[in-house]
Amino acid sequence: MSENIRLIDSENEKTLGVSGDVLPSAHKYATFFKKYLRKRMRQSGFRRITTSGIEPVGIGESVLNKENICTISKTQALRSCSPTSIMRSYLENDMKEWVQPVQLYHLQEMFRKEGDMISSYYEYGFEIIGQKDPVIAAE
């Protein structure tokens, strides 16, 4: 489950800091949101993960179009898909040896290529990995 963070200034009805700068007037909203998210996730038993900003080429290709991935070399690309980055980390760091299910949440900057420009945005979400119960998996 991943969502883009959209902060709305209700007085001006404009989006603050969606894919660009978070100006000083918007930081109070962004800080409140991040603190609230962290608190609720910890209360629910989730632990935070931040994956590498540079991933192997191929991570996220099943979710995104290849032309949206920001490759920086033949073997590396900027992080573009949280669920696949988290699964890569789960496998590479032997999290299958941890108590299952592993409940992780993320709040991190993501990158997408749109035409000739690279845009960045913050994404949040959570993953429950290692649960065999389909009801929990559906959450």
**pTM of model > 0.75:** no
- Residue 87 vs residue 18, higher pLDDT: 87
pLDDT higher than 70, residue 14: no
> What pLDDT is recorded for position 64?
59
Average pLDDT over residues 109-128: 84
Average pLDDT over residues 25-30: 84
Instruction: List the alpha helices (DSSP H) in 66-133.
Output: 82-92
User: Could you tell me if 123 and 93 are in contact, meaning their C-beta atoms sit under 8 angstroms apart?
Assistant: no
Residue 63 binned pLDDT confidence (cut-offs 50, 70, 90): low
Q: CA angle, corner 15, sides to 12 and 18, nearest 5?
A: 160
> What pLDDT is recorded for position 6?
44
- For the stretch 70-109, pLDDT in tens is 777 888 888 888 888 899 899 999 999 999 999 999 998 8
Torsional class of 44: left (φ above 0), alpha (ψ -120 to 50), beta (otherwise): alpha
Select from 2, 98, 99, 86 the least CA-distant residue to 51. 86
Q: E strands within the chain?
A: 2-4, 7-9, 14-16, 47-48, 54-56, 76-78, 102-114, 117-129
3-class secondary structure, 110: strand
Say how far apart CA 53 and CA 136 lie, in whole Å: 29
3-class secondary structure, 108: strand
